[in-house]
């Protein structure tokens, strides 16, 4: 007996899988350790905060704090001597100078004491007042706002604070301040966000060391492990941090204890990272790289479109193929020659002779940030660009042409 023909109805779309949501939230935190309600994935981070907090604390030793308005993953680097990831001006992507870093600290100090709203003019006045500290003068650092370049430095700091959510622009435009047109800019100040920026093991005011390296070490210092279990946990934290943060982890860069631990535990550690983030482990004799198939968990991409990306790829291919360690001057000459070859594809300013040095330096800096090359002095004190193992994938070989087999 045949029943009535069932009607066709569209079933409601299923909710995202729990693991998919958690992975998206974890990736959001790794890409942007400070999230606010204006970020798309903030809701997911709040939803999975307990699981994520437990994972990061146990595997990497990182603390996750989440409230109704902010989520902060307090990351600590495994290595303190990596200078390849500076703060960058949001608009121009130019790395921060020493002057801008000091301005950033002074601006945060001013905002800590300001009202819930402030203006760029008042912020500038507070920074100039703070800059009168004799310690800054002794360090050779002075500030003024008379010149356009000086005002541009403060605006770069303000725009970084805007990108972090410390400030929210209410009215005005920073370019008017740079041009000294007399127009001011009004901001809302979110102290909840600014209060979560500091990621140190102790207060900066408690550090009395003299040199920068000693102060940095003291700020990031963690208790020494007293038992075997604590020692192993410390190694797990250090290796997980490296694999999450560094493009490539070379065994040669590790201490003997770190190398032995990672070799023994590499499958377990990388599997856990893959389960959380979706990154895939690429294990080689020289080390390990966690590769992101989506190419979103990185601030430095390669290959990359555009003139700068093409120059970087050309330099990488040349160094890997030649197997040599050129100087920056030699690479500048190489870029100058390539500019003639690719003039119809590169942006017009890149083909000017003076642009070659900047293009070469930017390309080498990117390769260095990706841990594909390293700068080392030779016997004549000239800095040479040495290839690292992972760069060899960009080497080109002469093509091998095989004859087609005869078919009956």
Q: What percent of the chain has pLDDT over 70?
A: 93
Q: List, in sequence order, every beta strand (DSSP E) within 305-382.
A: 373-377
Structure tokens at 226: 């007293």
Residue 13 has pLDDT above 60, yes or no: no
Q: What is the pLDDT of residues 326-341, one digit of tens each?
A: 999 999 999 999 999 9
Does 360 fall in a domain?
yes
**Confidence bin at 205 (pLDDT 50/70/90):** confident
Note the pLDDT of residue 147.
92
Note the pLDDT of residue 300.
81
Does 268 fall in a domain?
yes
Final residue in a domain of this structure, among 172, 194, 216: 194
Of 404, 221, 247, 297, the closest CA to residue 30 belongs to 297
Final residue in a domain of this structure, among 194, 214, 248: 194
**Mean pLDDT throughout 48-75?**
96
**Confidence bin at 405 (pLDDT 50/70/90):** low
Note the pLDDT of residue 141.
85
Domain of 340, CATH number, reads: 1.10.10
**Confidence bin at 16 (pLDDT 50/70/90):** low
Q: Are 200 and 178 in contact (CB under 8 A)?
A: no
Residues 320 and 286 in one domain: no
Domain extent for 343: 306-394
Note the pLDDT of residue 207.
87
**Confidence bin at 69 (pLDDT 50/70/90):** very high
| CB neighbour list of residue 287: distance below 8 Å, 6 or more residues apart | 248, 249, 250, 251, 252, 253, 389, 390
**Mean pLDDT throughout 173-192?**
92
Does 218 fall in a domain?
no
Q: Count how many domains the chain has.
A: 4
Q: What is the pLDDT of residues 32-49, one digit of tens each?
A: 999 999 999 999 999 999
pTM to 2 decimals? 0.85
Among left, alpha and beta (phi > 0; psi -120 to 50; other), residue 140 is left
Residues 279 and 332 in one domain: no
Structure tokens at 179: 């041009």
Residue 4 has pLDDT above 50, yes or no: no
Q: List, in sequence order, every beta strand (DSSP E) within 268-340.
A: 280-283, 287-291
Residues 66 and 103 in one domain: no
Residues 317 and 253 in one domain: no
Compare 217 and 14 and report the one with higher pLDDT: 217
The three-point CA angle 357-362-368 to 5° equals: 125
Residues 311 and 264 in one domain: no
Residues 273 and 353 in one domain: no
Note the pLDDT of residue 376.
94
Does 350 fall in a domain?
yes
Residues 187 and 272 in one domain: no
**Mean pLDDT throughout 62-87?**
90
Does 6 fall in a domain?
no
Residues 154 and 115 in one domain: yes
Q: What is the mean pLDDT of the chain?
A: 90
Note the pLDDT of residue 201.
81
Does 320 fall in a domain?
yes
Does 201 fall in a domain?
no
**Mean pLDDT throughout 24-29?**
96
Does 26 fall in a domain?
yes
Compare 57 and 195 and report the one with higher pLDDT: 57
């Amino acid at each position: 007996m045949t029943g009535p023909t069932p009607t066709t109805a569209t079933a409601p779309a299923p909710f995202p899988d729990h693991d998919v949501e958690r992975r998206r939230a974890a990736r959001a935190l790794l890409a942007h350790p400070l999230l606010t309600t204006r970020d798309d994935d903030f809701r997911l981070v709040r939803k999975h905060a307990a699981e994520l907090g437990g994972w990061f604390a146990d595997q990497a030793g990182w603390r996750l704090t989440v409230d109704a308005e902010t989520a902060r993953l307090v990351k600590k680097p495994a290595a303190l001597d990596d200078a390849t990831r500076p703060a960058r001006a949001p608009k121009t992507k130019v790395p921060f100078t020493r002057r801008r870093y000091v301005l950033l600290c002074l601006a945060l100090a001013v905002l800590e004491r300001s009202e819930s709203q402030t203006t760029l003019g008042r912020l500038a006045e507070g920074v100039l007042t703070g800059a009168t500290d004799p310690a800054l003068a002794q360090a050779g650092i002075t500030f003024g706002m008379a010149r356009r370049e000086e005002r541009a430095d403060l605006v770069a700091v303000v725009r970084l604070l805007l990108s972090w959510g410390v400030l929210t622009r209410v009215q005005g435009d920073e370019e008017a301040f740079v041009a000294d047109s007399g127009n001011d800019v009004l901001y809302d100040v979110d102290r909840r966000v600014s209060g979560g920026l500091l990621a140190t093991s102790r207060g900066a005011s408690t550090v009395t060391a003299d040199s920068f390296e000693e102060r940095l070490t003291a700020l990031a210092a963690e208790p020494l492990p007293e038992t075997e279990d604590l020692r192993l946990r410390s190694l797990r934290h250090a290796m997980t941090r490296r694999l999450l943060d560094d493009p490539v982890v070379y065994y040669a860069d590790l201490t003997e204890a770190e190398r032995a631990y990672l070799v023994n535990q590499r499958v377990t550690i990388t599997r856990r990272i893959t389960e959380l983030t979706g990154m895939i482990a690429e294990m080689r004799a020289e080390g390990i790289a966690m590769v992101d198939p989506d190419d979103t968990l990185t601030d430095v991409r390669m290959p990359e479109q555009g003139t700068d990306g093409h120059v970087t790829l050309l330099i990488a291919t040349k160094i890997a193929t030649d197997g040599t360690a050129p100087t920056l001057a030699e690479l500048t000459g190489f870029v100058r020659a390539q500019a003639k070859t690719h003039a119809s594809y590169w942006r017009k300013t890149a083909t000017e002779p003076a642009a070659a040095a900047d293009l070469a330096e930017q390309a080498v800096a990117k390769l260095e940030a990706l841990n594909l090359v390293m700068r080392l002095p030779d016997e004549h004190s000239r800095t040479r660009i040495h290839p690292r193992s992972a760069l060899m994938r960009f080497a080109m070989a002469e093509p091998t042409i095989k004859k087609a087999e005869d078919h009956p």
